[in-house]
Structure 1
């Protein structure tokens, strides 16, 4: 297998490189729009700069590298930023996917595309793969349009949807709920966390494993890949405080109406992951196991 990863500098991209760089029988090509952040960690991994919004570049790189499989992790994922900068969001989340689909279809490259629970309206959850999408924000609309572009392909493809990803990455500016709660409480900083949203939080290593299994087995169709535990962010924050032995009295329970955010969030999502477990052998960590890994990596 010759596996090309887009977005190799991102959280999921980094976990895929870590998981696959020593995998027997896998030739790995890391690509990202920016310079390679992982050069010192994985000097043997081939890196090629690639802006997936540039159709000519996509064609040139895929022609040059000749991957058998492509795992597409690059995306604009800041939900509020997507709401405020819709043209840029569409370019990064939809146009880029259309570029990749066109070349993957032509070269019959197996494409694994990463999507999100935010394509749903939040009226019910947890959800199976058969749930009908109805996004409530522009990020969700862009990710649904990207899924539809993948589904129109006459090449081999799988879509891996996920929920509320957390983990530790190298030289990565963005945070996530686990790290934000831990760091805030360590600094004795009171925080407000919503208790009216349901999610199935996902360890980044688990998502990487799900994407890899979809590629390895040349999976076809849509797979829900997340953690198994259905939690509100507030419940999750209490578990973080307990795990890291921090003061949970600093955490205030609020609802989503407390915050004025440009983009609306779906209230209930979370995934039923039976299909990925059954067909791919996907087996996620528990939240405590995930936090133990975060503690080990982040100190």
Structure 2
């Protein structure tokens, strides 16, 4: 039986990768949704799109009732960590109220709800982490995402939470960069860059995260799943790999610690995920960071 999947935030990085993946999948019937106009209309004119502001409860009820999806994959969120710290009301509206709206509609219509969360729900005192690790966020973004997780866990319809880490990828029609392109372009311009070596993450290729979300929906999986790569790396180690891949000058990469930067929001020092549950239950197989760099190089015709 086909899965009829509505994606929120289809204009964002993960949303775009899900659209690209699911429109090719014979098992999936796709409905894209986002606030504002469809940024993928020229790229995928065949994909059904509905405008949806997830912070508007009545609109969420109406759109889901009309679209009749079997699954909702919720990717829309306010993810700029410092902006969340400085604009807490807006952050709560987009990251918590929106989830409460979707949960209410999914409960009323018996829709399987898949919610995307983050490693920033954790304190950063230990890692990599399993799904059983106890959340203890150190910034407002993490607090908002944990509150959203609790709203999902109280949901009376089938639900899954997909947590992820440091997502990178190429976005269509956006000026957004990522660690790979930032390092490559800075070094090519002969710029010295400061990169931290005291934060640990399992960086996630956006295509892998999209695949993980689809596998959850495909298998009607419920509960919490950690979806990332399996390589625990510091941003400094990632930067060195990028320089090596493109044959750039590594001496421009300056190793620093997190105290070098003054940021409104604290960052957890050590997260990263143990992904064996997703590998065993869903057949999830992520790329290595090296393979991720190579994919981005092909996507930017830089091979």
TM over 0.5: yes
Kindly indicate whether the alpha-carbon contact (under 8 Å) linking 1:33 and 1:51 is maintained by their aligned counterparts in 2: yes
CA distance in 2, matches of 1:4, 1:20: 11
In the alignment, structure 1 residue 98 sits paired with structure 2 residue 100: yes
Instruction: Report the TM-score, using the length of structure 1 for normalisation.
Output: 0.99
Matching of residues 66-85 of structure 1 within 5 Å = 66-85=68-87
1:25 CA displacement: 3.1
What residue number does 2:35 align with?
A: 33
Kindly indicate whether the alpha-carbon contact (under 8 Å) linking 1:11 and 1:172 is maintained by their aligned counterparts in 2: no
What residue number does 1:9 align with?
A: 11
1:219 CA displacement: 0.4
Q: Deviations over 1:165-215 (max 9, x none)?
A: 111010122222111111111111110000000000000000000000000
What residue number does 1:297 align with?
A: 299
Q: Deviations over 1:43-79 (max 9, x none)?
A: 1100001000000110110011000011000000000
CA distance in 2, matches of 1:275, 1:111: 19
CA distance in 2, matches of 1:69, 1:42: 21
What residue number does 1:257 align with?
A: 259
Q: Deviations over 1:126-146 (max 9, x none)?
A: 000000000000000000000
3-state SS in 2 of match to 1:282: coil
1:231 CA displacement: 0.4
CA distance in 1, matches of 2:11, 2:212: 19
CA distance in 2, matches of 1:179, 1:111: 33
Matching of residues 125-136 of structure 1 within 5 Å = 125-136=127-138
CA distance in 2, matches of 1:186, 1:109: 48
CA distance in 2, matches of 1:172, 1:214: 28
Structure 2 unaligned blocks of 5 or more? none
Kindly indicate whether the alpha-carbon contact (under 8 Å) linking 1:123 and 1:266 is maintained by their aligned counterparts in 2: yes
Kindly indicate whether the alpha-carbon contact (under 8 Å) linking 1:50 and 1:61 is maintained by their aligned counterparts in 2: yes
CA distance in 2, matches of 1:177, 1:34: 27
Structure 1 unaligned blocks of 5 or more? none
3-state SS in 1 of match to 2:93: helix
CA distance in 2, matches of 1:237, 1:175: 14
3-state SS in 1 of match to 2:113: strand
CA distance in 1, matches of 2:54, 2:183: 33
What residue number does 1:88 align with?
A: 90
Matching of residues 200-279 of structure 1 within 5 Å = 200-279=202-281
Matching of residues 28-177 of structure 1 within 5 Å = 28-177=30-179
Q: Which runs of 4+ in 1 moved over 3 A?
A: none
Aligned match for 1:287, one of 286, 289, 293: 289
Q: Deviations over 1:248-272 (max 9, x none)?
A: 1110000000000000000000000
3-state SS in 2 of match to 1:161: strand
1:246 CA displacement: 1.0
Q: Deviations over 1:21-59 (max 9, x none)?
A: 121132110000021111111111000010000001101
Kindly indicate whether the alpha-carbon contact (under 8 Å) linking 1:8 and 1:17 is maintained by their aligned counterparts in 2: yes
1:82 CA displacement: 0.2
CA distance in 2, matches of 1:147, 1:38: 29
Q: CA RMSD in A?
A: 0.7
Instruction: Report the TM-score, using the length of structure 2 for normalisation.
Output: 0.98
Aligned residue pairs, count? 299
CA distance in 2, matches of 1:212, 1:79: 26
